[in-house]
Amino acid sequence: MADPVSRLGLGTSPLGNLFTEVTDDEARAVVDAAWEAGVRIFDTAPHYGLGLAERRLGAALKDRPRDEFVLSTKVGRLLVPDPDGAGRLDDDGFAVPATLRRVWDFSADGVRRSLESSLDRLGLDRVDVVYLHDPDDHWDQAVGEAMPALAELREQGVIGAIGAGMNQWQMLARFVRESDVDSVLIAGRYTLLEQPALAEFLPLCAERGVDVLAAGVFNSGLLARQDVPDDVTYDYRAAPADVVGRARRIAAVCARHGTTLLAAALWFAFGHPAVTGVIIGARAEAEVRANVEALSAPLPPELWAELRDEGLLDARVPTP
């Protein structure tokens, strides 16, 4: 396997103040730490903090050599002024003033306007990849209008690659079959804890030559700590007891092999040949360093064998 850090990407929803406020200096330090560690893939979206993540990421990258990093953003949610938002915070999980609101728009015009606004916030002349963001309830417009608009921009050389990013694999599989995507970003559906994308989706992407980026590999925090607490989240909600129990059993196996749940979750995501990159979020320098350190040495094959023997890992899963 190639150096996994070269395939590691920084996701920026935490830099958009997801759940908790992060200062400008803290956000800059996260990007700087990622860069210093060798990370060259950066993913963002207008949705993250109503544009805050894009502005912070752009500011941190503006003096970096543009040809040395890959930057992706997303379309599908236009940000429009919201006079009624004065004096309150965003109600979609981000600790930012609600001076803007999101409007779903997967029209061709909406895609172009969204990308233009993203470039303005980023302060950069181009992005490398554009994903349709969570088009779950907008299939017809997304595949009929947004994807052709992105394909035209790709043909014109405005963007390098196009795709879709979602928390489910079924509709992503439809995009792979029915549109001309280069890349897909799947969040939370191919992790050490659960692999619903294994049987059909990942082989399909491999067959079609579509790059897969795995995000949400810690299942919204559940796999990020060796000692799994009772009040941990899973899919951004309180984790069910059976899920917590399964994570603790996996953690115990990791401990027996001298490693951690976090390290196993990261290495696992890189194990499938269809997965070309892994996106992780961080809100502090220490988190970036911990993730990179976890990838400094491969894990023992005996770990994966015991997880299979204990029924904690599908026998069909390819591992690093």
Query: Tell me, what's the pLDDT at 320?
Result: 81
Nearest Cα to Cα of residue 52 among 85, 17, 21 = 17
- The rounded percent of the chain whose pLDDT value lies above 70 is 99
- The predicted-structure confidence for 13-69, as pLDDT tens digits, reads as follows 999 999 999 999 999 999 999 999 999 999 999 999 999 999 999 999 999 999 999
What does the pLDDT average to over 93-101? 97
- The rounded percent of the chain whose pLDDT value lies above 90 is 93
CA atoms within 13 A on the CB side of 98: 14
How far, in Å, CA of 276 to CA of 253, rounded?
27
Instruction: Flag whether pLDDT at 108 surpasses 80.
Output: yes
List, in sequence order, every residue forming a beta bridge with 281; answer none if it has no partner. Answer: 11
Kindly tell me the sign of the dihedral angle through the C-alpha atoms of 95, 28, 225, 73.
positive
Nearest Cα to Cα of residue 189 among 206, 175, 205, 202 = 202
Query: Tell me, what's the pLDDT at 3?
Result: 80
Query: Tell me, what's the pLDDT at 237?
Result: 86
How far, in Å, CA of 202 to CA of 196, rounded?
10
Instruction: Flag whether pLDDT at 257 surpasses 90.
Output: yes
Higher pLDDT, 1 or 73: 73
Q: Is 250:264 a contact under the CB 8 Å cutoff?
A: yes
Confidence band, pLDDT 50/70/90 cuts, at residue 319: confident
- The predicted-structure confidence for 126-183, as pLDDT tens digits, reads as follows 999 999 999 999 999 999 999 999 999 999 999 999 999 999 999 999 999 999 999 9
Instruction: Flag whether pLDDT at 114 surpasses 70.
Output: yes
Phi, psi of 238 (to 5 degrees): -60, 130
Q: Please name the amino acid found at residue 141.
A: Q
DSSP 76: S
How far, in Å, CA of 213 to CA of 236, rounded?
20
Token pair, residue 101, equals 């609101």
Confidence band, pLDDT 50/70/90 cuts, at residue 2: low
- The predicted-structure confidence for 302-314, as pLDDT tens digits, reads as follows 999 999 999 999 9
How far, in Å, CA of 119 to CA of 74, rounded?
11
Query: Tell me, what's the pLDDT at 1?
Result: 58
What does the pLDDT average to over 252-276? 97
What does the pLDDT average to over 65-82? 97
Token pair, residue 43, equals 């993913």
List, in sequence order, every residue forming a beta bridge with 275; answer none if it has no partner. Answer: 212
Q: What is the DSSP string of 187-236?
A: ESSSSSS--TTTTTHHHHHHHHT-EEEEE-TTTTTTTS-SS--TT-EETT
DSSP 38: T
Q: Which helix (H) or strand (E) holds 111?
A: helix 108-122
Nearest Cα to Cα of residue 43 among 158, 125, 127, 105 = 127
| Active site residues per annotation | 48
- The predicted-structure confidence for 273-305, as pLDDT tens digits, reads as follows 999 999 999 999 999 999 999 999 999 999 999
Query: Tell me, what's the pLDDT at 183?
Result: 98
Q: Is 269:33 a contact under the CB 8 Å cutoff?
A: no
How far, in Å, CA of 53 to CA of 122, rounded?
9
Give the number of other CB atoms < 10 A from CB of residue 231: 7
Mean pLDDT of the chain: 96
